[in-house]
Structure 1
Amino acid sequence: MRLLLAPMEGVVDHTMRELLTSLGGLDRCVTEFVRVSERLLPPRVFYRLCPELHNGGNTVSGVPVYLQLLGGQPGVLAENAARAAELGAPGIDLNFGCPARTVNKSDGGSIILRQPERVAAITAAVRAAVPAEVPVTVKTRLGYEHHEQFLEIVQGIAAAGATELTIHARTKRHGYRPPAYWEEIARAREVVDIPLIANGEIWSTDDALRCRQVSSCEDLMLGRGALCRPDLPRLVRAAHAGEDVPSLTWTQVLPLLMRYYELTLTHYDAAYVGNPIKQWLVYLRTYYPQAAVLFERIKRLRGAHDIGEGLSREIADHGSRPAAA
């Protein structure tokens, strides 16, 4: 079983990738999408979204990070894929799953699923443009408004030479509303031979094991569940092995919050440090009620120093210590 970290736009940047992969359990990450429209992008764009390129395409913990491209034109996507490979990306991922209206309006993401032949043409062009040893993976949904073309989409991607395919088990119309239709992924398993990775509504170890059974997929991609429970990959891997390991307590999560604060302060302007911390607390409160209390305490704070002091007080109150930088 392989466990992948989903490329969540505006949430899972290189700092979050570094933090989550340090906890173990993850086999691969995918960057936020690089938007490609009309031209070959300069190297600085790739390095900005994937600074792991300076580290052989891996996080500090050694987990490979595939670089994701989003766009609707085969030729220019192929050019940018080739550049990403030249810069050392260990793999290229294509985004046909993003449901955001602004993205779809600019001919990117899930809107392309309305034309299965375009999905296949883009995949084929990118596959032809990068060295054979560089994997080309695809992220898709079940369709746009409906899933009647789902198998056609999947077969086209496989025929175009994709290395593997991650399927978010909802259409664009479904957005992120539960449930996820894992059984539809099992239908794809019957018509293609490339590896399939199931994604969607995996919040717990029980969800993960049930998703593997229903979808007929060995491998899973974890998204929001891994933000709500940062040790979810490790717990899923243990459950798969029949082992019983304890979940992280709130006292153990607090040093991770401080480490995330430190990473964010190192890589971004201090004026914006508060937003990622508050955003992660919103996810964490799904599983840790203490996160909701802490969020209320710091939500009006703006200065990086004040937010750091707020985190330090919470750690002191719980008898923990910040993780080393």
Structure 2
Amino acid sequence: MRLLLAPMEGLLDFVLRDVLTRVGGADRCVSEFIRITGTLLPDKVYLGIMPELRNGSKTLAGVPVRAQLLGSDPSSMAENAANLARLGPEGIDLNFGCPAKVVNRHGGGASLLQDPAQIARVVEAVRKAVPAHLPVSAKMRLGFNDRALMTECAQAMESGGACEIVVHARTKLDGYRPPAFWEEIPRIREAVGVNVVANGEIWTVEEALRCREVSGCDDLMLGRGIVADPGLALAIRKALAQGTHTTEAGIDWPVVVPQVQRFWQMVCEDLEPRQRAGRLKQWLNLMRRRFPEAEIAFQEVRTQTDQSTINDWVQALPQRDLQQEWRWPQAAATTDCLEPEVQSVAA
């Protein structure tokens, strides 16, 4: 079994990839999409979205990262894929699943699920443009407004040269509303000869095990579930090894705390000041699903915007019992981030 980290625009970026792969359990990551709109992108765009290219296409924990491209023009996609290949990505992944309206209006993402022939042309162009040793994979949904073309789309990806297909088991119309329709994935598996990976609505160990059973897929891709519970991949592996359906987290809150500190350090180093507080709140907000302590932490930081105040709060986390009432630390005079300095692949 392999567990992959999903590409999630505005959420699962290189900062969280670093943190989550340090916790452990993930076999491979996929970058957020690099949007191709008809021009040859400069290297700084690829490196800005996927700074792991500077580290041999791996996170600092050593987990491979595959670069994802999003676009609909075969020539432009091929040209950019060849350009990106110079930087040594672990592989190229093609996005046929993004449901965002702005993307779909311009013919990208899930909108291509209405045109299997165009999907085949895009995949084939990219496959021919990059070195033979470089894997080319694809990510799809079950369809655009319905599932009528889902097997045809998967077959188009395979015929174009994709070596693996990740299936987010919802249509574009479904968005991210539960449930995910894992029971549809076997039809796709039967229609193609390449490996199929199941994705969508896997928040717990129980859901991961049920997804494997219902979909028939050995491999899973984890998204919001592993952001909410950084130990989810470890817990899934433990459950499979022991043959149990444990509800225990893979890690406890005291293990999460140093990762929160590292996350904040990297956010301060690598993101714009206006993005920093929001990114911390975004992650704590999701972790409320799994950790009671994260609920308390989120309530403490949700109204804070001052970096020095948040810095003091993050520094104090290891010494605090979040199950007890405690006052917000006084803001320090400095706006420096945490010490010691943390290495960043984006530096």
Report the TM-score range of the alignment, normalised by the length of the smaller protein: over 0.9
CA separation in 2, counterparts of 1:303 and 1:257? 17
Residue in 2 that maps onto 1:284:
287
Q: Judging changes above 3 Å, is the alpha-carbon distance between structure 1 residues 262 and 117 closer, same or farther for their aligned structure 2 residues? A: same
**For residue 315 of structure 2, what is the aligned residue in structure 1?**
312
Alignment of 1:252 onto 2:262: no
Match of 1:174 in 2: 174
- Measured after TM superposition, the shift of residue 139 of structure 1 is 0.4
The whole-number CA distance in structure 2 between the counterparts of 1:182 and 1:67 is 25
2:234, 2:250 within 8 Å by CA — same for their partners in 1? no
Give the secondary structure class of the aligned counterpart of 1:142.
strand
Q: Which amino acid aligns with 1:33?
A: F
Cα deviations by residue, 1:256-312 (Å, 9 ceiling, x for unpaired): 111100111121233432111000011100111322222121122112211111223
Once residues 25 and 15 of structure 1 are traced to their aligned partners in structure 2, the CA distance between those partners, rounded to angstroms, is 17
Query: Which is worse superposed, 305-314 or 283-292?
Result: 305-314
2:300 aligned to which of 288, 297, 300: 297
Residue identity opposite 2:66 in structure 1: Y
Segment drifting more, 307-316 vs 272-281: 307-316
Report the TM-score when normalising by structure 2.
0.90
Q: Deviations over 1:91-112 (max 9, x none)?
A: 0000010101111112211011
126-135 or 253-262, larger mean C-alpha shift: 253-262
CA distance in 2, matches of 1:59, 1:27: 11
Runs (5+) with no aligned partner, structure 1:
none
| 1:89-108 alignment, distance < 5 Å | 89-108=89-108
Q: Which residue of 1 aligns with 2:134?
A: 134
With normalisation by structure 1, the TM-score equals 0.96
Amino acid at match of 1:24: G
Alignment of 1:115-264 (within 5 A): 115-242=115-242, 247-264=250-267
How far apart are the structure 2 equivalents of 1:155 and 1:184? 15
CA-atom RMSD in angstroms: 1.6
Q: Which runs of 5+ in 2 are unaligned?
A: 323-337, 343-347
Instruction: Report the 3-state secondary structure (helix = DSSP H, G, I; strand = E; otherwise coil) of the residue aligned with 1:25.
Output: coil
Which amino acid is the alignment partner of residue 15 of structure 1? V
Aligned equivalents of 1:181, 1:164: Cα separation in 2 = 20
CA distance in 2: counterparts of 1:224 and 1:197, whole angstroms? 16
Q: Hey, what does 1:86 align to over in structure 2? A: 86
How far is the alpha carbon of 1:323 from its aligned partner?
9.6
Question: 1:20-79, CA deviations, whole angstroms, 9 ceiling, x for partnerless residues?
Answer: 001111110010110101111111110111111111111111111111000110110011
Quote how far apart the aligned CAs of 1:6 are: 0.2
Quick one: which amino acid aligns to residue 102 of structure 1? V
Per-residue CA deviations over 1:208-253 (Å, capped at 9, x if unaligned) read 1111111111100000000110010111111121267863222322
Equivalent-residue separation in structure 2 for 1:289 and 1:297 (angstroms): 13
Closer/same/farther in 2, CA of residues 303 and 271 from structure 1, 3 Å limit: farther
CA distance in 2, matches of 1:298, 1:156: 47
Count of equivalent residues: 323
Identical positions, percent: 44
Distance in structure 2 (CA, Å) of the matches to 1:24 and 1:145: 37
**Alpha carbons 2:198, 2:220 under 8 Å: kept:** yes
